[in-house]
Amino acid sequence: MRRNYANNVSEYNTVFGSLTAQRRHYLLRYAYDDMILDGVQPVRDTFHNLIVGTMKGSRLQDAFYFRDQMREMGLQPDVNLYNFMISTCGKCKNSDAAIMLLEEMKAHGVKLKGETYICLLNALAATGRTDQVYAIVRDMTAAGLGLNKFCYAGLITTFKNKTPTTEETMPKILEFVQQSKGWKNVERVSNDSAENIMMNVTEEELYNLPTAEYVHRRGFVSKQMTIYHVATHACADLKSKETLEVLLDMVTKDGFTYDAFIVMQALRCYLRCGDIDSAVKTFEEYTSSKFPPGELCVTLAEGAMIGHTPRGMQLAQETLEKMTSMNFFLNPKMGTDLLLAASGEKTGGYTTANYIWDLMQNRKITPALPAVEAYYKGLKEREIPSDDPRLLNVSRVLDNLNIRFGPRRNRNTQT
């Protein structure tokens, strides 16, 4: 009894919610197996908790497993559960599975909601399937539903992900931004969001928008600018500086001021295009009136290291030093991303990579295995004595990470 962490369905539901909140989605299936072994009968809420967890963790195989288990218990998945599963398909870029779920809903007589159409549209957008996305738009129109901002966001994402990129890609994105301005006059597609609120699922997360991980941050994302968030993110991914500047002018003309997310995408776009001057100017203009979030500084530092130019590495170093002076501290993800970027420097004194490593060591944070491997490789390529304390420390950390994660990664590769 002392070893049991849950004894009834209510306690297990709490465990599933806790694992999801801790982002330990890979443990959900183990906890479910324990529940079955303990003879505890799952209920509908149990499966909703589990499938929301798999959606947040982008674990499509687990989502289908729990769907099958639900049926074995005699429970038919409802429309909200299908929405979560279709959203998971989008996160995993599996549009075929999303279409299969749509056919399954029709076969079982599950009535589609407005949310379902938008989930489908954004799931298909993840793979750039313009033909299928337009088919969903026609289905929405036939059902008497108007397009809202999340539909236009999906259309923009579709053209961003469509390969190969053509000359019509960026004009199409601008066209959808213009068209979206009339969405306020269209009746909302769905008001049935109580289930999502209860399950702590935002619209941005359900529809796989790039703002999903920032929407809980106070002051980081202005929800009225959703269409601009998606469009500027597309410009950064496609390295289209000209389209970005057109969008930034449109934001100003519409009476909005740039929020942190739009500034972040502008930095990404300029730096990926090699325009360090514009990136620095944008960053300084924003920070002159507001205290910058840590993510903005990290975006500037990481982007400046693209190509590992002397000026870019110097800018990255100065940005990180400013972060430290402002008492910003790197979390494991930020530190790993920065160390991985800095470790690619082939010439120079490896100053930035060493600085990032020292920052993380001072906070007792260990970067992820790929970043430590890249950093160790960079050190070995330089003329450093084999008994150098830094090299020995990195070697020890790398050995420990290989013991913990190396065999598991190999097994996954073989599987």
Q: Splitting the chain (415 residues) into consecutive groups of 10 residues, what average pLDDT does each group show? A: 80 95 94 94 95 95 96 93 96 95 94 93 94 93 89 95 91 94 53 62 92 87 93 96 96 92 96 96 92 91 94 94 89 94 90 95 94 94 89 94 69 39
Query: 360, 340 in Cβ contact below 8 A?
Result: no
| pLDDT reported for residue 187 | 43
Closest among 406, 376, 401 to 391, alpha carbons compared: 376
CA distances to 1, 59, 151, 361 from 115, rounded to whole Å, are 43, 21, 10, 46
Residues 6 or more apart whose Cβ sits within 8 Å of residue 75: 44, 47
Euclidean distance between CA atoms 335 and 295, whole angstroms: 11
Euclidean distance between CA atoms 397 and 210, whole angstroms: 33
**Which H or E run includes 99?**
helix 95-107
For 243-287, what is the HEC assignment? Answer: HHHHHHHHHHHCCCCCCHHHHHHHHHHHHHCCCHHHHHHHHHHHH
Q: Work out the number of other CB atoms within 10 angstroms of the CB of residue 181.
A: 13
SS3 content of the chain, % helix, strand, coil (to 5): 70, 0, 30
Query: 98, 126 in Cβ contact below 8 A?
Result: no
Q: Is the preceding peptide bond at 310 cis, omega within 30 degrees of 0? A: no
Using the structure block, give the residue that is written with the tokens 């001072």: 362
CA distances to 1, 287, 361 from 231, rounded to whole Å, are 54, 23, 38
pTM: 0.89
161's tokens: 């992900």
Residues 6 or more apart whose Cβ sits within 8 Å of residue 307: 274
Euclidean distance between CA atoms 342 and 348, whole angstroms: 11
Query: 92, 58 in Cβ contact below 8 A?
Result: yes
**Which H or E run includes 403?**
helix 389-414
| pLDDT reported for residue 145 | 86
Euclidean distance between CA atoms 412 and 338, whole angstroms: 26
Closest among 190, 152, 189, 188 to 172, alpha carbons compared: 152
273's tokens: 């295009």
Q: Work out the number of other CB atoms within 10 angstroms of the CB of residue 178.
A: 11
Using the structure block, give the residue that is written with the tokens 């539901």: 13
Euclidean distance between CA atoms 391 and 380, whole angstroms: 8
CA distances to 34, 38, 107, 126, 258 from 9, rounded to whole Å, are 12, 10, 31, 36, 47
Closest among 336, 92, 310, 87 to 207, alpha carbons compared: 87
Using the structure block, give the residue that is written with the tokens 């009136």: 289
| pLDDT reported for residue 193 | 58
Euclidean distance between CA atoms 55 and 206, whole angstroms: 9
Residues 6 or more apart whose Cβ sits within 8 Å of residue 357: 339, 367, 375, 390, 394
Query: 120, 138 in Cβ contact below 8 A?
Result: no
**Which H or E run includes 143?**
none
**Which H or E run includes 346?**
none
DSSP state of 224: G
285's tokens: 């203009």
